[in-house]
Amino acid sequence: MKIIIINGPNLNLLGKREPTVYGSETFEDYFNDLKSKFPAIDLSYYQSNIEGELIDKIHEVGFSFDGIILNAAAYTHTSVGLGDAVKSIETPVVEVHISNVYQREPFRHNSYIAANAKGIIVGFGLKGYELALNSF
């Protein structure tokens, strides 16, 4: 099974960025642990701070991979283009947010991804990616 985790803007700073909200572990460390926990899954990881690059990656994997775990970060709340990309592909997408966006500012309550996601996991910290992985 081929699954990719796609992380959006500022998530390259996990571990350093607002640790009270996002924790103190880097994504690279978490990802390596996740890969060793799921050796049977062909698991890859992509991060970009650039909206168009995220859309290109979704197009690239969206007709051949078995699953996409997408944390579009701030673009979740702003990007019609990313929402349309998720709508345009065949691979199921699970939307993940590390923090519980519904406990935060109202602008974080809207998602352009959610309507076309297979499911949504919010507020479980980095563990949300593992929960998403188990959902495929």
Binding region for ligand DQA (CB under 6 A) = 10, 71, 73-74, 76, 97-99, 101, 108
37 Cβ partners below 8 Å, 6+ apart? 130
Catalytic site includes residue 97: yes
Exactly one of 30, 45, 75, 97 is catalytic; which is it? 97
Exactly one of 22, 30, 75, 129 is catalytic; which is it? 22
Catalytic site includes residue 59: no
On whether the CB atoms of residues 68 and 3 are closer than 8 A, the answer is yes
The distance of closest approach from Cβ of residue 97 to ligand DQA in the complex, given in angstroms and rounded to an integer, is 4
Task: Count other Cβ atoms within 10 Å, centred on residue 67.
Answer: 22
Structure tokens at 95: 């939307």
Residue (of 71, 76, 78) closest to 128 by Cα position: 71
- Taking the least distance from each CB to ligand DQA, the nearer of 64 and 100 is 100
- Taking the least distance from each CB to ligand DQA, the nearer of 43 and 132 is 132
- Taking the least distance from each CB to ligand DQA, the nearer of 35 and 108 is 108
Which residues are identified as catalytic?
Answer: 22, 97
